[in-house]
Structure 1
Amino acid sequence: MKILMTASEAVPYAKTGGLADAVSALSLALAKLGHEVRIVIPRYYGINRGELTQVEGAMGVHVGGGEEWCAVYTTALPGSPKKNPVKVFFIDHEKFFGRDGIYGTPAEPDFLDNPRRFTFFCRAAFQLCRKTSWYPDVLHAHDWPTALVPVFLKFGERHGEFANTVSVLTIHNLGYQGIYSKDNFWYTNLGWNDFYAAGFEDWNMMNLLKAGLYSADKLNTVSPNYAEETKTHVQGFRLDGVLRHRSADYMGILNGIDSGLWNPKTDDLLPQKYSVQDMSGKAKAKEALQREFSLSGKSDVPIIGMVTRLTGQKGVGALFGPAYGSAWSICRDMNLQFVLIGTGESWCENELRSLSGRLSNFKAQIGYSENQSHLIEAGADFFLMPSQYEPCGLNQMYSLAYGTLPIVRNTGGLADTVSNYNEEKGTGTGFMFNDLTPSAIYNTVGWAVWAYYNRPKHIEAMRIRGMKQDFSWEKSAKVYIAMYESALNPAP
């Protein structure tokens, strides 16, 4: 099967979140299963042309009643199978992508020309296929920036070499939809009849994701539970009706994790590797974590870890809200240590600095460090994720792989990957709560800390149980293949 991934991000080239990890990891998993996979992303300013190979000749893209010209570069995705490498193509257009930022900058969070930037990019994906004489069986789009790919396929491109091509659109986060003034619609080169037929209309605006959801042959999101949540008014972000309408073609497929990168048996970023058979390395990681964050080296005190974006989606209001968040009370009342790294909203960053200065058992670092992220996953006893909503989540799966027990809200992919602790039986892999309130977070952290001190055998068994679970991308890739096949061979 030939599959073209169209995306705005892919590691290691451009990343703002889990989308980039998922695109590259899924592509590698599909290639290892024998499928021919290619990725196309924009060539942003930060991607060095000198490390890429230029495809000969300029490429014209029909948009806005005329043509935009661009260059194309290529390379092989790191980690690709030698006999079946994943080729990555980069669309190089200086006016649209030769700037800092993928979607925006701190000064301009959402570039004004984003609808035109990504309209051009989605059109360019079809031109790339023509330029390289390579036509996919499946065009796989990811989130709103490439949601026009299934629209263009359905309303104009599904003929000739694309006659048998099908489209799939993956929702990584329904909260981001690409809603812009419909004054930008002319740039798509589609007719106004298509504007309404494809579902662009959104309260006199143009909604790119909505049009993609109407147009794609198959839809999915990144966990089964989130798929169900998005069909409700509470978490549907006004598109729940569309998703209920498309429910026969919509499913949730859990993201995997890169077990080559996130594996305590092979992790070179840890002071000592460890496994289910020998957990001594986890104790070494805890010691190193306490030194790294200048915490007292008490091996018998539980550590709560967090690696997060400091945004409302991640539940930071209920945890760190000045005067009402629960973090202060947790650290004041409980015999524990709390370590966090993250960046995001300025009020939250300032509150973390304040807490770090006032509490001896709370340490936060603003920013992101790969080394510290791995150290927290391995050295912490619990990992806290009080998300408002979580399409899939990766850190809870990293935590389970490292024998660190998640404390999570019962939502989205968190509910699909963590099973709640049962005090009587000692079963489960983590601790869960339902309401996103300071008291719910406080009580659940307290429950986990109580179990740590009073049910150590339960804690140990839960760690082992979590480490034995299979969150590999190969498992998820096989479900994607089944979805592709159902699109290519629809039931009568």
Structure 2
Amino acid sequence: MGFDVLFLISEVAGFAKTGGLADVGYAFPKALAEYGHNVVVVMPRYYVIDRNNLEHIPRSLSVRLGKDTLWFGVFRSKLPGSEVDIYFVDYEAFFGRKGLYDDGFVPYNDNAERFIFFSKAALEVSRSIGFRPDVVHLNDWQTSPASIVLKYNDYFRDSVVVLTIHNLQHQGFFGKEKFELLNVDSKHFNPFEFEALGGLNLLKGAIAVSDAITTVSRRYAKEIETPEYGFGLHEHIKAHSFKLFGILNGVDYNQWNPQTDRFIKCRYDIDSLENKKECREELISLFGLKIGDDEPLIGFIGRLVKQKGIELLAASIEGMLKDLRVGFVLLGSGERWAENFFSSLASKYPDRFGCFIGYSDELAHKIEAGCDMFLMPSLFEPCGLNQIYSLRYGTLPIVRAVGGLDDTVRNYDPETKEGWGFKFWDANPEALFNTIAWAIDVFRNDKEGFRVMQKRAMRLRFDWSASSKDYSDVYTWARIYKRLKGG
């Protein structure tokens, strides 16, 4: 049974991206459509999205934001490679900025206004085009306001709300005075819904009022019910665990496939894995490294923030470069100290450490193809996508066993040769160092086992087809639950 799905998200790859959420926004709606659902996506029209590449919808719409009425424009396009419509909310005062959520370092001080407005505007777009959704699918705190706003709009009386939590760390916490921007009954500002520590918590409220909640891996669904990973909401989430489902994100193998990748030096697959060596040589040359064939090249791509385990890496990497005969390449940006630290490290060890501060999609593909192993030492990782990309490229992941990393990587067993990666559990530099040392030893002294793992990894598939079925089941569950509770 296909559903009409209104998919609200704050970023979509191909239009505006800060991280993995955008990759989900790009691939997941297309997969839902292929599964048989009728999907409409709505996102903000940020400054980085050229309106000249979009179709202008000749109408002006308005929503209430507290005491004000705001008028906005609408643009339309298609998700690349599909017939899925994507609509853009155009309001220059909120979205005509270079950054999506911050100026590069500090969050915008009107983010409450920006995303409460966007959530309301997205619902109005749906109404204006005559799209009456069976399911309103929300993603993270930026779209959470829609969970309660639509309950005051008769147009959505039959719609169920499904909320996906991609990262619980970010909750949309603001001063209590921002609650009035929602234009809903003040009874919802209570400790069981939108109030937290005297302020407004948009994600907390959406967890309470949504008909179903999903997270992006099974392990993460369990982790967020604990104090360590619950970021203050673990008890709240436990109270709603009956409607919580862990569904692993998929990846788009049309974009991440060494057999067809247009960015890499030499394409390859399981039967031509020897071609991967040319990709490694190109990457070494790009960064000007000088490492031998028996010295592995390890890659890192990600935000340089605490969540990604960047402090563990900073505390141990110089010892690795000195003692382990290994090369590293790093692509990312984030906290200023980390950018400075890794940049200076590249100057200190130019033969062994390559660093690019920023982001390049082309370079990301070259790193996935050219490295022997890929490092993700995250303190927590709801799903993670790069470890899944790495598997497809025969680039064995070295990960901390949390969230989706634990779900997707099986630890190598030297006795049976089973597994397809290397895992560690303790969040300390010693555990990271020792695991990398072990992985290097396998690379150098157990070549057969390493090659077997590479081929096993390349056969694995974590695409969206299985996830789309699971989400379809959740949509059905949510509709039954809504009827039973008399919603």
Determine if the TM-score, normalized by the shorter chain, exceeds 0.5.
Answer: yes
Q: Which residue of structure 1 aligns with residue 116 of structure 2? A: 119
Identify which of 387, 394, 414 aligns with 1:423: 414
**Per-residue deviation, 1:476:** 1.2
Q: Which residue of structure 2 aligns with residue 22 of structure 1? A: 24
Q: Name the CA distance, whole Å, in 2 between partners of 1:126 and 1:337.
A: 50
Deviation string, structure 1 residues 124-158 (Cα, Å, up to 9, x no partner): 1221122111111100010001001112233x23x
Equivalent pair of 1:287/1:299 in contact (CA under 8 Å): no
Q: Which residue of structure 2 aligns with residue 172 of structure 1? A: 166
Counterpart AA for 1:293? F
Equivalent pair of 1:270/1:375 in contact (CA under 8 Å): yes
Equivalent pair of 2:391/2:457 in contact (CA under 8 Å): yes
Q: Name the CA distance, whole Å, in 2 between partners of 1:349 and 1:113.
A: 27
Counterpart AA for 1:482? D
The 3-state SS of whatever aligns with 1:251 is strand
The 3-state SS of whatever aligns with 2:108 is coil
Deviation string, structure 1 residues 351-394 (Cα, Å, up to 9, x no partner): 11222222231222222222221111111111111101001111
Counterpart AA for 1:270? I
Please tell me whether residue 184 in structure 1 is matched to residue 178 in structure 2: yes
Counterpart AA for 1:327? I
Unmatched runs of 5 consecutive residues or more in structure 1: none
Please tell me whether residue 52 in structure 1 is matched to residue 48 in structure 2: no
The 3-state SS of whatever aligns with 2:438 is helix
Q: Which residue of structure 1 aligns with residue 101 of structure 2? A: 103
Counterpart AA for 1:104? D
Deviation string, structure 1 residues 320-357 (Cα, Å, up to 9, x no partner): 1xxxx110111111122111111111111121122222
Counterpart AA for 1:228? K
Q: Which residue of structure 2 aligns with residue 128 of structure 1? A: 125
Q: Which residue of structure 2 aligns with residue 354 of structure 1? A: 344
Counterpart AA for 1:439? E
The 3-state SS of whatever aligns with 2:94 is helix
Q: Which residue of structure 2 aligns with residue 34 of structure 1? A: 36
Deviation string, structure 1 residues 232-283 (Cα, Å, up to 9, x no partner): 0110001111111111100111111110010011111111111111112211
Q: Name the CA distance, whole Å, in 2 between partners of 1:110 and 1:367.
A: 19
Deviation string, structure 1 residues 379-415 (Cα, Å, up to 9, x no partner): 1111111101001111100110000111100101100
Q: Name the CA distance, whole Å, in 2 between partners of 1:358 and 1:302.
A: 19
Q: Which residue of structure 1 aligns with residue 332 of structure 2? A: 342
Please tell me whether residue 239 in structure 1 is matched to residue 233 in structure 2: yes
Q: Name the CA distance, whole Å, in 2 between partners of 1:328 and 1:187.
A: 50
Q: Which residue of structure 1 aligns with residue 431 of structure 2? A: 440
Equivalent pair of 1:40/1:88 in contact (CA under 8 Å): yes
The 3-state SS of whatever aligns with 1:420 is coil
Q: Which residue of structure 2 aligns with residue 224 of structure 1? A: 218
Structure 1 stretch displaced more, 471-480 or 174-183:
471-480
The 3-state SS of whatever aligns with 1:41 is strand
Structure 1 stretch displaced more, 62-71 or 275-284:
62-71
Please tell me whether residue 452 in structure 1 is matched to residue 443 in structure 2: yes
The 3-state SS of whatever aligns with 1:392 is coil
Equivalent pair of 2:6/2:126 in contact (CA under 8 Å): no
Question: Could you state the TM-score of these two structures normalised by the residue count of structure 1?
Answer: 0.95
Q: Name the CA distance, whole Å, in 2 between partners of 1:288 and 1:439.
A: 31
Q: Name the CA distance, whole Å, in 1 between partners of 2:398 and 2:191.
A: 44
Deviation string, structure 1 residues 50-108 (Cα, Å, up to 9, x no partner): 1111222211212213421111111111110xxxx11111111122222221111036x
Q: Which residue of structure 1 aligns with residue 196 of structure 2? A: 202
Structure 1 stretch displaced more, 232-241 or 27-36:
27-36
Q: Name the CA distance, whole Å, in 2 between partners of 1:190 and 1:295.
A: 59
Q: Name the CA distance, whole Å, in 2 between partners of 1:339 and 1:65.
A: 52
Q: Which residue of structure 2 aligns with residue 398 of structure 1? A: 389
Counterpart AA for 1:38? V
Within-5 A mapping of 1:293-304: 293-296=287-290, 298-304=292-298
Structure 1 stretch displaced more, 109-118 or 410-419:
109-118
Equivalent pair of 1:198/1:215 in contact (CA under 8 Å): no
**Per-residue deviation, 1:191:** 2.1
Counterpart AA for 1:258? D
Unmatched runs of 5 consecutive residues or more in structure 2: none
Equivalent pair of 1:341/1:367 in contact (CA under 8 Å): yes
- Alpha carbons of 1:219 and 1:92: their partners in 2 closer, same or farther (altered >3 Å)? same
Please tell me whether residue 137 in structure 1 is matched to residue 134 in structure 2: yes
Q: Name the CA distance, whole Å, in 1 between partners of 2:360 and 2:41.
A: 27
Counterpart AA for 1:169? L
Q: Name the CA distance, whole Å, in 2 between partners of 1:67 and 1:201.
A: 25
The 3-state SS of whatever aligns with 2:398 is strand
Q: Name the CA distance, whole Å, in 2 between partners of 1:363 and 1:25.
A: 31
Moved over 6 A (4+): none
Question: Could you state the TM-score of these two structures normalised by the residue count of structure 2?
Answer: 0.96
* Backbone CA RMSD of aligned residues: 1.4
Equivalent pair of 1:405/1:430 in contact (CA under 8 Å): yes
**Per-residue deviation, 1:12:** 1.2
Residue identity over aligned pairs, in percent, reads: 42
Deviation string, structure 1 residues 208-247 (Cα, Å, up to 9, x no partner): 1100111110001111101110010110001111111111
**Per-residue deviation, 1:489:** 2.5
Q: How many equivalent pairs are there? A: 480
Equivalent pair of 1:340/1:364 in contact (CA under 8 Å): yes
Equivalent pair of 1:153/1:167 in contact (CA under 8 Å): no
